[in-house]
């Protein structure tokens, strides 16, 4: 049984599809990347999961049954568009939001104190929200998202606007939440964060999901059988040692040494390539070039848009 199962979701606004036959499965205790350019349909899907809006077709299953309104208490949602009451005091608002998620006042105060100290925002408890910097407000909203210890956490562009130090702080907290058992949906178009954090991904573009699977499976699927060889020796000798099964597609320098990117054709192997070049040059490093998620993202979207 999948933790979250999204089946054939469709959603239209006027005559424009926001989502068209989108399906994906989120495994328990994983970080699941929901990827796509702005306007792809990611936020609409998140709102359907949170029951903020409903689908025109399809269904969302939570632990094997159709998701209900009371399941929202088991979800923590940090939207991209932050929303805090500027005139309320920080502590008062944090307590209010925690109690909306079903926490008692006593339990909420205890848990909020822990998080406020951890994020070094405890001196601001009696201040108004409007007195906080943007970064402080974002920290506060992160705290109110996780304080009730939800089973499912949904972060929509959580690092937007953060400086590198605070972005790294939040990344570490996301990984810690996963260790403690949370299942996390992480919506972004930042591919660097995806490779750092996510176990599985779905790529949505123009209302459709184009790609789904584990990060490792997808990167291996899209690799192009290209190897980088760093070596000492004569480039022309290396070139002359190769037969028609191998094509040098790039020459460069790595650490001051010659380096080439060689594409393998037909049913050749990396061992065969090494056996050809070792007699003529000194091989310093030899590695397969695996495409980044950013490269895959661009290629898949461009191919679909042709």
Domain ranges of the chain: 4-220, 224-289
DSSP letters, 14-45, are TTEEEEEEEEEEE-TT-EEEEE--TTSSHHHH
Domain 224-289 has CATH 3.30.70.1150: yes
Q: Looking at 152-236, which runs of residues are DSSP E strands?
A: 152-156, 183-188, 200-205, 208-214, 226-232
Distance CA 175, CA 48 (A): 25
Q: Do 43 and 204 form a contact (C-beta atoms < 8 A)?
A: no
Distance CA 28, CA 180 (A): 12
The CATH class that applies to domain 4-220 reads: alpha beta
Give Cα 302 to chain centroid, integer Å: 20
pLDDT by residue for the chain (306 residues), tens digit each? 689 999 999 999 988 999 999 999 999 999 999 988 888 889 999 999 999 999 999 999 999 999 998 898 899 999 877 678 888 999 999 999 999 988 999 999 999 999 999 988 889 999 998 898 877 888 888 999 999 999 999 998 888 777 888 888 889 999 999 999 999 999 987 777 888 899 999 999 888 998 999 999 999 899 889 999 999 999 999 999 999 899 999 998 888 889 999 999 877 888 999 999 999 999 999 999 998 888 888 888 888 776
pTM of the model: 0.86
């Amino acid at each position: 049984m999948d933790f979250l199962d999204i089946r054939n979701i469709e959603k239209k606004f006027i005559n424009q599809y926001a989502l068209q036959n989108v399906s994906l499965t989120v495994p328990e205790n994983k970080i699941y990347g929901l990827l796509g350019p702005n306007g792809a349909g990611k936020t609409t899907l998140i709102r359907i999961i949170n029951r903020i809006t409903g689908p025109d077709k399809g269904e969302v299953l939570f632990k094997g049954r159709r998701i209900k309104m009371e399941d929202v208490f088991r979800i923590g949602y940090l939207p991209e568009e932050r929303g805090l009451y500027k005139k309320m005091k920080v502590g008062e608002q944090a307590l209010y939001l925690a109690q909306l998620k079903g926490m008692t006042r006593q339990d909420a105060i205890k848990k909020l104190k822990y998080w406020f100290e951890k994020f070094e925002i405890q001196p601001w408890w009696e201040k108004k929200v409007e007195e906080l910097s943007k970064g402080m407000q974002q920290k506060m909203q992160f705290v109110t998202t996780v304080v009730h210890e939800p089973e499912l956490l949904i972060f929509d562009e959580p690092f937007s606007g953060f400086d590198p130090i605070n972005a790294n702080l939040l990344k570490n907290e996301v990984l810690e939440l996963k260790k403690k058992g949370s299942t996390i949906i992480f919506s972004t178009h930042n591919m660097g964060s995806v490779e750092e954090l996510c176990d599985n991904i779905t790529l949505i573009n123009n209302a459709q999901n184009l790609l789904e699977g584990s990060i490792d499976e997808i990167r291996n699927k899209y690799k192009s059988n290209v190897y980088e060889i760093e070596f000492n020796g004569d480039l022309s000798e290396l070139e002359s040692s190769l037969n028609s099964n191998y094509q040098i597609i790039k020459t460069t320098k790595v650490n001051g040494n010659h380096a080439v990117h060689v594409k393998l054709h037909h049913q050749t192997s990396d061992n065969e390539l090494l056996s050809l070049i070792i007699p003529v040059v000194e091989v310093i490093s030899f590695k397969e070039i695996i495409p980044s998620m950013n490269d895959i993202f661009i290629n898949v979207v461009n191919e679909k848009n042709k």
